[in-house]
Amino acid sequence: MDIKITEQNGGYTAIFEGRLDTPAAVKAQQDIAPLLEHADKAITLDCTKLEYISSSGLRLFLTLRKEAAAKGGKVVIENINDEIKKVFMMTGFFNLFEIK
CATH code assigned at 51: 3.30.750.24
CA angle 4, 27, 88 (to 5 degrees): 75
Q: List the domain range (segments joined by +) for residue 48.
A: 2-99
Sheet bearing 98-99, strands edge to edge: 2-8, 11-20, 42-53, 74-78, 98-99
Pairing of strands 11-20, 2-8: antiparallel
Task: Measure the CA–CA gap between 11 and 70, rounded to whole angstroms.
Answer: 16
78-95 confidence digits (pLDDT tens): 999 999 999 999 999 999
Number of domains in the chain: 1
25-67 confidence digits (pLDDT tens): 999 999 999 999 999 999 999 999 999 999 999 999 999 999 9
